[in-house]
């Protein structure tokens, strides 16, 4: 990944060349060059912002583990799920939900799940989180409530689901993707009331197994 100094140098050279074309070049090319200057400025400012964002992202990987889920706020069953990022930054639905996607903190199935249909918001029971069969770039912990159907492999379908936190996994390969596409910023903007944690694979494993342990303790204390 280029540092900000080299990017600024390349930007300045390109801008100077375009300005020269506007002032001294063929008048028929001047309007096109002016438009390119505007686009170049916009892309440079966006890239500069993304590069600057690398500092808090790197800090997130070395920061202490975030606090555990507050069990007093859980309405139903804790579960783990993965999402795709859809157009306009919303997270993908699970099978079919009322709004077509997870547009906010809480999502609802279009039809309550039963043992005779495939409806509901899908997630893995917390204890089976590592058995998740989907991609693991954007994942999180959800609170499933209302009517909840559980399958033998730990997959659950719920009538209602509330996102409690979101994990964005960061690796050396993913870092450029996260910064240049603005995934982290987009999720923070779309879901302002939900904690979003940029984590390494190791950090996420620590957090998840901690939640599983706390969940087992909470369940055993209620028996």
Q: What crossing angle do the helices spanning 54-62 and 27-52 adopt, rounded to 10°?
A: 20
> pLDDT tens digits, residue range 73-112?
899 999 999 888 776 678 876 555 556 678 789 989 888 8
CA-CA distance, 55 to 93, in Å (whole number)? 31
Residue 108 φ then ψ, to 5°: -130, 140
The pLDDT score that the predictor gives to residue 79 is 95
- Looking at residue 159, what is its pLDDT? 93
Give dist(CA 6, CA 140) in Å, integer: 36
pLDDT, average across residues 66-70 = 89
Looking at the chain, the whole-number percentage of residues with pLDDT higher than 90 is 23
Tell me the average pLDDT across 30-45.
81
In tens, the pLDDT along 118-171 reads 788 889 999 989 887 777 788 999 999 999 999 888 889 999 999 999 998 876
Q: Using an 8 Å Cβ cutoff, are 88 and 113 in contact?
A: no
What is residue 51's predicted lDDT score, i.e. its pLDDT?
A: 63
Residues with Cβ within 8 Å of residue 34, at least 6 apart in sequence: 18, 22
Q: What is the pLDDT of residue 1?
A: 46
Percent of the chain having pLDDT more than 70? 79
> Residue 47, by phi and psi: left (phi above 0), alpha (psi -120 to 50) or beta?
alpha
Average pLDDT of every residue of the chain: 80
Q: Determine which of 9-18, 136-145, 187-196 has the lowest per-residue pLDDT on average.
A: 9-18
């Amino acid at each position: 990944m280029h540092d900000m100094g080299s990017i600024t140098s390349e930007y300045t050279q390109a801008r100077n060349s375009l300005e020269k074309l506007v002032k001294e070049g063929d008048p028929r090319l001047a309007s096109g060059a002016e438009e390119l200057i505007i686009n170049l400025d916009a892309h440079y400012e966006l890239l500069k912002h993304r590069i600057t964002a690398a500092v808090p992202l790197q800090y997130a990987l070395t920061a202490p583990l975030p606090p555990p889920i507050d069990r007093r706020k859980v309405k139903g069953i804790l579960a783990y799920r993965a999402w795709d990022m859809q157009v306009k930054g919303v997270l993908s639905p699970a099978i079919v939900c009322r709004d077509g996607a997870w547009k906010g903190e809480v999502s609802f199935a279009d039809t309550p799940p039963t043992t005779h249909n495939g409806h509901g918001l899908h997630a893995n029971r917390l204890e089976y989180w590592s058995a998740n069969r989907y991609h693991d770039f954007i994942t999180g912990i959800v609170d499933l409530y209302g009517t909840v159907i559980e399958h033998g492999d730990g997959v659950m379908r719920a009538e209602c689901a509330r996102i409690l936190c979101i994990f964005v996994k960061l690796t050396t390969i993913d870092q450029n993707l996260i910064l240049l596409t603005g995934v982290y910023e987009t999720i923070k903007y779309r879901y302002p009331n939900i904690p979003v944690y940029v984590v390494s694979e190791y950090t996420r494993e620590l957090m998840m197994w901690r939640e599983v342990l706390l969940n087992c303790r909470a369940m055993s204390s209620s028996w």
